[in-house]
Structure 1
């Protein structure tokens, strides 16, 4: 097996990859580099205190670190600091938009346009609105990308929101966000982007994207679980009502009336994920030092190499475009993906097998599930070799 994959030797920075273990499930969650672990442990240990409340020095220091993390996220996305809302993850970010912006601004007869390849987290929150809003579904191109020509034909002034994935978690296909924004805005709709798979692999620039909402999770970009980001245009955030009540999100509380803090604080009820915010900022520093351009090339190269190797087999069906970004989904003839995943685990190879929280896409592909290998900055050709060896062993077992 020969290739021109980019040279990144990073495995030794990841304690979770110690031993002869080949981790190919980065699209589900990434392993964490030691620098992120160290920053998180320090924030939980000798630096720990609450934020925004204490008058003592350590609380003040932690508040500075917490808000510095917000500034780091803003820089990572080319955004303004007061446009960054910390959430528990992209799922909560999308639910926040649904329960605050959409519940306030949409009414019966309005329409939302999604696509066939969306993750359940970008489907179910809109169904939970239950206010008479209708959902339309944009089809895919034969290559597995969102068909923006079809979207243009489908969009009408009744559409108030378009919500698309930047990168498919199953197919690795990439959306042209700027094009989608032009189409949405042409009919007066807002554009929300699920950026979970894009944030670890593509440079983010919400100004260039011209979208209205952008959501992602830290744990997919080498940071901690339990924290994510909602970016929204400041004008939209200022108009949105809070969706959860509690401490920190208030201005003044009486039993007669409560007034709320300005955005983004009004959307961050309760004690925030302090430690996780610091860890996320450390992950962004680490990733930015390596370079998003290198990350994109490295993972595209590995995905291309794996697709080329699998294409040599007559018992494998590949899904998605040839230029998929770090994600390769496939089916091995006569073998359920769960069985393949179990045998690969015995070989020290970790893949994802299932519907990947994208059941409508599975129906479109005509399969109940797929096997999915997904790469990170720590992945290399040895991981692919181990996967191919495991597939060959599976073939011998199943005949």
Structure 2
């Protein structure tokens, strides 16, 4: 008696892998987990202290569906100072994580059958979110030699009268690619020409190693009007479990998003929101330390992977992932439906390393590893991958 839409939904690969890793570790097996897309740092103390203060001062009642005014002011200041975008307070909506902010947006914008362009490789939940609200994901191929980035020509080729939106993720999960200002301008021009919204997922914005991150909405007033800026605290402040994200967009759409959220969940936890206020206002030093650590790990991982001649990858400019081409190994193992799943399963069972198969991101010749983990564990995991490949 379940809804028919669930027949089209693919279970999360990452959750499935995490469950299997826990089972194997529970059996006493020594597993290196390079699949986790979660910071291995703890939430900064100032954020935790402000959450405790909020509890002790009884800030536990219902509040605005759009989020605490104090938090929206902190987000407004952050967007102005760091991203050069001026948003009014009623254009900012605080949600239960960036994933929820995206879902609210899709509900507010999509009618049944509306098409959403999703460039490959994509974050695992994008297509499922679109399908759950009645939209139709349209997958766009990208090229490794272009760091898997979207081009205006590719957008023009795939647009139809039903196209409503395109996802742009910078820095990218899973590739770590970061778009330049000129690349984004060309994308905006095409979207303006065809009256298409841009959902700009900037959740990894802080974890950028190029010092040249650009928010799409900062490019022009016209760009801002068609862009939904999505961000949050999960990655930048190691606050995954607190579930605080936000969207910023034009007044009409922001009001619609607040209405949707008000009916579905009322608003995010007030305690989490007070923690987020301090994260934005008082935890810059801790955020910088995290970023510096990620960059150092990236450099070590890149050097270690370069020694494995069968693997190819694009050096990431942001986020904390490496998207690795394993296609040269196709003739070295037996597989049926999915090469990356077969490779990942064998690597976990025989090599004792957990990675995410590329099919989860729409590209079956790849795997994704995360370097949001202890440096020693990261290098041991890559060493095990090398030994596993040599023994195939």
State whether TM-score is above 0.5.
yes
Partner in structure 2 of residue 353 of structure 1: 355
- Residue 52 and residue 371 in structure 1: after superposition, are their counterparts in 2 closer, same or farther (change >3 A)? closer
- Residue 195 and residue 35 in structure 1: after superposition, are their counterparts in 2 closer, same or farther (change >3 A)? same
Matches of 2:205 and 2:354, distance apart in 1? 18
Deviations 1:212-267 (A, max 9, x none): 11223422222242222122222432456822555xxxxxxxxxxxxxxxxxxxxx
Q: CA deviation at 1:208?
A: 1.4
Q: CA deviation at 1:372?
A: 0.4
Partner in structure 2 of residue 153 of structure 1: 156
Contact 2:173 2:319 in 1 (8 A): no
TM-score by length of 2: 0.67
Aligned-CA RMSD value:
4.0
TM-score by length of 1: 0.66
Partner in structure 2 of residue 309 of structure 1: 304
**Paired residue for 1:127, among 110, 124, 131?**
131
Deviations 1:246-301 (A, max 9, x none): 5xxxxxxxxxxxxxxxxxxxxx8435311111222333345534676x86676445
Matches of 2:193 and 2:313, distance apart in 1? 32
| Stretch moving more, 35-44 or 213-222 | 35-44
Matches of 1:344 and 1:47, distance apart in 2? 51
Q: Does the residue aligned with 1:163 lie in a helix, a strand or coil?
A: strand
Matches of 1:94 and 1:66, distance apart in 2? 19
Deviations 1:27-48 (A, max 9, x none): 3345324415632552464234
Matches of 2:280 and 2:351, distance apart in 1? 32
Matches of 1:102 and 1:172, distance apart in 2? 28
Partner in structure 1 of residue 229 of structure 2: 214
**Structure 1 unpaired stretches of 5+:** 1-20, 54-61, 247-267, 346-350
Matches of 1:41 and 1:240, distance apart in 2? 26
Matches of 1:318 and 1:385, distance apart in 2? 17
- Residue 361 and residue 175 in structure 1: after superposition, are their counterparts in 2 closer, same or farther (change >3 A)? farther
Contact 1:162 1:189 in 2 (8 A): yes
- Residue 41 and residue 238 in structure 1: after superposition, are their counterparts in 2 closer, same or farther (change >3 A)? closer
Matches of 1:390 and 1:40, distance apart in 2? 42
- Count of matched residue positions in the alignment of Structure 1 and Structure 2: 327
Q: Does the residue aligned with 2:369 lie in a helix, a strand or coil?
A: strand
Higher helix share: 2
Partner in structure 2 of residue 191 of structure 1: 198
- Residue 236 and residue 324 in structure 1: after superposition, are their counterparts in 2 closer, same or farther (change >3 A)? closer
**Paired residue for 2:269, among 267, 270, 273?**
273
**Paired residue for 1:85, among 78, 89, 93?**
93
- Residue 290 and residue 180 in structure 1: after superposition, are their counterparts in 2 closer, same or farther (change >3 A)? farther
Q: CA deviation at 1:308?
A: 2.6
Contact 1:42 1:48 in 2 (8 A): no
Matches of 2:131 and 2:69, distance apart in 1? 34
Contact 2:140 2:158 in 1 (8 A): no
Are 1:327 and 2:321 matched, yes or no? yes
Which protein is bigger by CA-based radius of gyration?
A: 1
- Residue 318 and residue 75 in structure 1: after superposition, are their counterparts in 2 closer, same or farther (change >3 A)? farther
- Residue 214 and residue 352 in structure 1: after superposition, are their counterparts in 2 closer, same or farther (change >3 A)? farther
Q: CA deviation at 1:127?
A: 2.1
- Residue 39 and residue 69 in structure 1: after superposition, are their counterparts in 2 closer, same or farther (change >3 A)? farther
- Residue 30 and residue 281 in structure 1: after superposition, are their counterparts in 2 closer, same or farther (change >3 A)? farther
Contact 2:167 2:198 in 1 (8 A): yes
**Structure 2 unpaired stretches of 5+:** 1-30, 81-86, 334-341
Partner in structure 1 of residue 77 of structure 2: 75
Partner in structure 2 of residue 56 of structure 1: none
